[in-house]
C-alpha cells in the first residue's frame, strides 16, 4: 500500500475542513413574521396593542352613532339592491374587521425601523382616517344631501379601497401576517363600494 505523502495529507485535511458549497448556498428561511425591534416588546407592546384596539372600537362606535339614526330614517326607506345584507350584519362585521386591522397595525409597529416600515405605517394611518370617515360620510351626507351625498361617499370609499390595497402591499414587505390580516377589510370594502354605488344609482 502506498503511504500518503505529507503534502497530500494536508490537502485532504483542508478539503474536509472547507464548508460544503451546497450548504453555504442554501437560501435563508422566509418567515411570515417580522422581527421585533428592541424596545417594542413586553408591557409597551401590550399597551400599543390595547390602544390600537381601543382606537378601532372608537372608530366603530362613531360610525354606529352616526348610522343609527340614518338606518331608522332615510336608509330604511331608500331603494336598495337585492344583495344588501340585513342591518344586523354590519355591526359584528365592522367589529371583527376593526380587531384584525388593529392587530395588523400592531405587527407593523413592532417591526424594526426601516423605510418600508415608515411607508407602511403612513399608509396604515391614512387607511384608518378614511375608514373612520366613510360611515359618517355615507349616512350623514346621505341624510343631508340625498344622492349627491351618496356619490361623495362613493368617491371616498374608492380612495379607501386603493389605500387599503397599497397598505397590504407595503405590509407584505414587513410582515406577511399583517398583510393577510388586512385582506378581509379590503374584500369587505370592495363589497361596500358596490353597495354604495348601487344605492347612489337607485337614489337618482
Under CATH, what is the fold of the domain 42-203?
Answer: Ferritin (1.20.1260)
Say what the pLDDT of residue 132 is: 87
165, 186 Cβ separation under 8 angstroms: yes
Q: What is the DSSP letter of 137?
A: I
CA distance linking residue 9 with residue 60, whole number of Å: 75
Say what the pLDDT of residue 42 is: 62
pLDDT classification of 193: cutoffs 50, 70, 90: very high
Q: Which of 57 and 173 is assigned the larger pLDDT?
A: 173
Phi-psi region for residue 114, left (φ > 0), alpha (ψ -120 to 50) or beta?
beta
Name the grid cell of 183.
385582506
For all residues of the chain together, what is the average pLDDT? Answer: 82
Say if residue 12's pLDDT is above 80. no
Say what the pLDDT of residue 20 is: 45
199, 157 Cβ separation under 8 angstroms: no
Q: State the residue for C-alpha cell 349616512.
A: 139
Q: What angle do CA 28, 30, 35 make, to 5 degrees?
A: 100
User: What's the whole-number mean pLDDT along residues 82-87?
Assistant: 90
68, 136 Cβ separation under 8 angstroms: no
CA distance linking residue 157 with residue 93, whole number of Å: 17
Q: State the residue for C-alpha cell 402591499.
A: 169
What are 128-182's pLDDT values in tens digits? 999 889 988 999 899 889 999 999 999 999 999 999 999 999 999 999 999 999 9
CA distance linking residue 194 with residue 204, whole number of Å: 16
CA nearest neighbour of 135 among 94, 79, 185, 184: 94
Say what the pLDDT of residue 33 is: 57
What are 19-52's pLDDT values in tens digits? 444 434 333 334 455 566 555 666 778 888 999 9
User: What's the whole-number mean pLDDT along residues 103-115?
Assistant: 91
CA distance linking residue 12 with residue 8, whole number of Å: 6
Return the SS3 of 37.
coil
Write down the domain spans for the chain: 42-203
Q: Which of 148 and 94 is assigned the larger pLDDT?
A: 148
Contacts 24+ apart (CB under 8 A), 110-115: 110/34, 110/36, 110/37, 110/40, 110/41, 110/45, 110/48, 111/34, 111/35, 111/36, 111/37, 111/174, 111/175, 112/34, 112/35, 112/36, 112/37, 113/37, 114/174
Say what the pLDDT of residue 61 is: 78
Question: What's the predicted TM-score (pTM) here?
Answer: 0.77
Amino acid at each position: 500500500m502506498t503511504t500518503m505523502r505529507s503534502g497530500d495529507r494536508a490537502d485532504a485535511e483542508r478539503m474536509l475542513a472547507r464548508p460544503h458549497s451546497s450548504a453555504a448556498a442554501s437560501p435563508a428561511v422566509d418567515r411570515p413574521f417580522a422581527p421585533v425591534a428592541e424596545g417594542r416588546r413586553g408591557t409597551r407592546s401590550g399597551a400599543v396593542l390595547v390602544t390600537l384596539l381601543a382606537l378601532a372600537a372608537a372608530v366603530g362606535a362613531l360610525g354606529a352613532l352616526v348610522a343609527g339614526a340614518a338606518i331608522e330614517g332615510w336608509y330604511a326607506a331608500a331603494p336598495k339592491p337585492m344583495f344588501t345584507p340585513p342591518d344586523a350584519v354590519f355591526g359584528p362585521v365592522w367589529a371583527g374587521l376593526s380587531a384584525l386591522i388593529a392587530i395588523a397595525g400592531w405587527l407593523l409597529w413592532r417591526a424594526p425601523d426601516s423605510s418600508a416600515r415608515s411607508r407602511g405605517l403612513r399608509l396604515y394611518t391614512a387607511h384608518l382616517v378614511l375608514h373612520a370617515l366613510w360611515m359618517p360620510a355615507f349616512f350623514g351626507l346621505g341624510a343631508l344631501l340625498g344622492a349627491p351625498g351618496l356619490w361623495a361617499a362613493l368617491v371616498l370609499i374608492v380612495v379607501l379601497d386603493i389605500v387599503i390595497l397599497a397598505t397590504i402591499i407595503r405590509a407584505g414587505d414587513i410582515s406577511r401576517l399583517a398583510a393577510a390580516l388586512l385582506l378581509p377589510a379590503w374584500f369587505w370594502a370592495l363589497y361596500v363600494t358596490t353597495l354604495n354605488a348601487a344605492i347612489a344609482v337607485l337614489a337618482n
